[in-house]
Amino acid sequence: MAFDIEMIEKVYATMAARVDKARELVGRPLTLSEKILYAHLWEGMPSQSFTRGKDYVDFAPDRVACQDATAQMALLQFMHAGKNKAAVPTTVHCDHLIQAKVGATTDLAVANSQSKEVFDFLSSVSNKYGIGFWKPGSGIIHQIVLENYAFPGGMMIGTDSHTVNAGGLGMLAIGVGGADAVDVMSGMSWELKFPKLIGVKLTGKLNGWTAPKDVILKVADILTVKGGTGAIVEYFGEGATSMSCTGKGTICNMGAEIGATTSTFGYDDSMRRYLAATGRQDVVNAADKVASYLTADADVYANPSNYFDQVIEINLSELEPHINGPFTPDRGTPVSKMKEEAAANGWPLKVEWGLIGSCTNSSYEDMARAASIVEQAVAHGITPKAEFGINPGSEQIRYTIERDGIIATFEKMGTKVFTNACGPCIGQWDRAGADKGEKNTIVHSFNRNFSKRADGNPNTHAFVTSPEMVAALAISGDLSFNPLTDTLLNDNGEEVKLLPPVGDELPKRGFDVEDAGFQAPAADGSSVQVAVSPTSDRLQLLAPFEAWDGKNITGAKLLIKAYGKCTTDHISMAGPWLRFRGHLDNISNNMLIGAINAFNQEANKVKNQLTGAYDAVPAVQRAYKAAGVPSIVVGDQNYGEGSSREHAAMEPRFLGVIAVLVKSFARIHETNLKKQGMLALTFANEADYDKIQENDSINFLDLTEFAPGKPLTLEFVHTDGSKDIILANHTYNESQIGWFVAGSALNLIAAGKA
């Protein structure tokens, strides 16, 4: 039986009436995305039609999921909100704080020792507030959600950008910051600008070496890392229904890499098979009663250009395996073109490591198909040229693939089997030799490949591809190897051509597991004590941010003018910094240390205008804070791309940055800044970015007139006495301005005014 089946049945009980009413109000057939959105309005029964990309709308998500790195800050905020219990089903998953180094058994034991304080905190706070807790080693949050909680037609939010993975089961699952999660956990509505819609029509059928991963790698190449911003991507067509549920999850997962609000697929037989295989026939029975409401109306998919803001068509029968990267997940190269691209760009051809896993590709099918390539290499006497590692997606998957001999197959090639956790995908990888900074190439099945993300080495060229292609490239040790056409030499000098991968969509003998790692909360958590030591360097109780004084901000200093790509990894790095995710003061020491200063093209070196000396970004900002001097950050396009981590907003807020002025924002980061009481502003004229000088002081001329739809006017005073008046746009509505006025959205919740 599924978790929370009563909640799921309740959603389905109201869906038909709400969708029918929405269709009447909109006056046309509805996409699946619109059906789910209108079925989850905070008001209940729809009463008006909303404009895509314009109207802010209040929603009522069905559930919340948090991973351990973001859950710390989310739950610290929830404690501050003063509620007795989470208002909707909520789970916490311990998957980020486990470093890959030796192998699963040793690495998990080390993590349980090093992060015991954090795990104990998360366990106890979950127990107190009615939150389901998944222990370290139980698996990766998004794989566990797909296996246990996701359901067609549902809406969930999660404190991780790859929450969108649950779209593989027909949900609208959306990544958010912890403050948004606290709203929903506190029994409040969740606000989102009504998304635009991108339709992706998939024709044909995947074959040979092509995998579901190649679909999203192609889409990322088409749309780029910001092409999906403010939109839901809805996949449909014969190609969509022909692929597995976990394959759909892979595609939805990497929708985060194009900036999409989320991605989804209509309810079909692959979802029925997956639900049944994971012990949720009761969900199938309930979903089948409203099946027509769990996919788009017929005319939508027949005439998509009439209903979507943009339509992309991909013929899966003609799609070639892709390898995306390096340094960005949207630079797509068909495998047949990699040799010439690598030569033209100076990419190292020797593959040092192949890594399979992450929330994107760690399913049974992924492991089985990759293992089929390994099995061939072993059978033909081919010695792999690169090192190889895997992270199973959950304990259920690990147990099942061990039972079915898949792990044994990998181990024949010397594969390191790491813990059921994120590991190298998020920088939790103690890679030998990475500190040398040598130029090298790795291939992985993860979702992101930003500079330094996997191993901390800025010269590691990381390429994203499917699990089966990772296996082939790791065996060959050559980035330019094309398994569709090329051969390998075995240990006897004989030429061998690898056959296309094969693997079961679902285990023939069913899934199995001894201990999945779930801890149910206490029925009554009122007596549970949550202790946070005042001397801890890992956890710190939060204090409210100060409210705005109602005056124009004057005399602010420019902290940094960030140049080029500035992701949340640049603003608040992961890796070794994950240990401080529950301690705002300590983790603030990594604020913007990865951002490139436009004035000297160096990272973590900015001018302290109080002394004239150059220092680390956090040190300069702490000096400004100590002197009572506000500051602003200036940035480039798609600022805050990547992870949903709200630390990238909380750290500058905590240290005294009052505004971030950029050419454009990634959706989640813009919302996170607003929630923490900061000013998230965009240049009305992007060319004004070039007017910002290193020694500028900034005055807000009309902040006292802050209002929806009204740009703010900023005066940049240069050292020679000249000035530039710059107009800054914003997307704040009345309630969001209220967050700024109060000091943060959480301050309003704690005061009972939200």
What average pLDDT score do residues 213-231 get? 96
90-93 vs 63-67, strand pairing mode = parallel
Query: For residue 642, what pLDDT is reported?
Result: 84
Q: Is 645 a catalytic residue?
A: yes
pLDDT class for 574, splitting at 50, 70, 90?
A: confident
SS (H, E, C) 161-212: HHHHHHHHHCCEEEECCHHHHHHHHCCCCEEEECCEEEEEEEECCCCCCCCH
Catalytic, 486? Answer no
Q: What is the pLDDT of residue 692?
A: 98
The residue from 62, 68, 95, 688 that is catalytic is 95
- Mean pLDDT over 600-611 rounds to 97
Give residue 620's pLDDT band: very low, low, confident or very high (50, 70, 90).
very high
Beta bridge partners of 64: 90, 157
Is residue 596 pLDDT above 80, yes or no?
yes
What CA–CA distances, in Å, run from 517 to 144, 395, 723?
10, 8, 60
pLDDT in tens, 37-71: 999 999 999 999 999 999 999 999 999 999 999 99
Query: 311 has which bridge partners?
Result: 199
Predicted confidence (pLDDT) per residue in 258-296, tens digit: 999 999 999 999 999 999 999 999 999 999 999 999 999
Q: In angstroms, what CA-CA distances link 67 with 145, 444, 513, 736?
A: 11, 22, 22, 26
The pLDDT assigned to 752 comes to 76
**Does 160 qualify as catalytic in the annotation?**
yes
How far CA 391 is from CA of 255, 353, 373, in Å, comes to 21, 14, 17
Q: pLDDT tens, 439-449?
A: 999 999 999 99
Q: Find the catalytic residue in 448, 461, 570, 581.
A: 448
At residue 562, does pLDDT exceed 80? yes
| Per-residue confidence band for 754, with pLDDT thresholds at 50, 70 and 90 | low
pLDDT in tens, 77-91: 999 888 899 999 999
What is the C-alpha to C-alpha distance for residues 130 and 88, in angstroms, rounded to an integer?
9
Residue 209 binned pLDDT confidence (cut-offs 50, 70, 90): very high
Give the per-residue pLDDT at 62. 98
CB 459 within 8 A of CB 435: no
Local confidence band at 129 (pLDDT 50, 70, 90 cut-offs): very high
Distance CA 566, CA 603 (A): 11
Residue 217: predicted pLDDT: 98
pLDDT of residue 531: 80
Instruction: Give which of 664, 680, 666, 683 is closest to 731, Cα–Cα.
Output: 680
- Tens digits of per-residue pLDDT, 242-268? 999 999 999 999 999 999 999 999 999
* Residue 323 pLDDT exceeds 90: yes
User: Is the pLDDT score of 532 beyond 70?
Assistant: yes
* DSSP 8-state secondary structure symbol assigned to residue 97: S
Of residues 73, 93, 175, 57, the one with CA closest to residue 640: 175
What local confidence, expressed as pLDDT, does residue 645 receive? 84
Q: What are phi and psi of 294, to 5 degrees?
A: -105, 15
Phi and psi for 41 in degrees, rounded to 5? -65, 145
Instruction: Given the residues 80, 645, 653, 669, select the one marked as catalytic.
Output: 645
For residue 319, pLDDT over 70 is answered with yes
Q: What is the mean pLDDT of residues 432-456?
A: 95
Say how far apart CA 96 and CA 574 lie, in whole Å: 10
Q: Which residues are bridge partners to 262 per DSSP? A: 232
Rounded mean pLDDT, 695-711: 97
**DSSP sequence for 366-390:** HHHHHHHHHHHHHHTTPPPSSEEEE
Q: Are 50 and 179 in contact (CB under 8 A)?
A: no
* 358, 362, 643, 664: the active-site residue: 643
Q: Tell whether the model's pLDDT for residue 753 goes beyond 70.
A: no
Q: Which of 107, 160, 183, 455 is catalytic?
A: 160
pLDDT at 575: 81
Mean pLDDT (whole number) for 320-344: 97
Asked if residues 362 and 397 have their Cβ atoms less than 8 Å apart, the reply is yes
Q: Is 579 a catalytic residue?
A: no
Segment 210-224 mean pLDDT: 97
pLDDT of residue 315: 98
Phi, psi at 143, each rounded to 5°: -70, -40
Percent of the chain with pLDDT over 70: 100
pLDDT digits (tens, 9 = 90+) for 636-668: 999 999 887 899 999 999 999 999 999 999 988
- Output the pLDDT for position 80: 81
Mean pLDDT of the chain: 96
pLDDT band at 151; cut points 50, 70, 90:
very high
Does the annotation count 80 as an active-site position? no
Q: Which residue among 96, 398, 538, 730 is the active-site one?
A: 96
Is the per-residue pLDDT at 483 higher than 90?
A: yes
Percent residues over pLDDT 90 in the chain: 95
Question: Which pLDDT belongs to residue 751?
Answer: 80
Cα–Cα distance list, 627 to 544, 557, 588, 621, 622 (Å): 20, 12, 18, 10, 9
Q: Are 25 and 118 in contact (CB under 8 A)?
A: no
> In 3-state terms, what secondary structure has residue 656?
coil
The burial of 256, by beta-carbon neighbours within 10 Å (0-12 exposed, 13-18 middle, 19 or more buried), is given as buried
Active site residue 280: no
Residue keyed to tokens 């790195």: 69
The distance in angstroms from the start CA to the end CA of the chain is: 36
CA–CA distance, 55 with 184 (Å, rounded to integer) = 20
Residue 278, C-beta contacts closer than 8 angstroms, at least 6 positions apart: 147, 148, 511
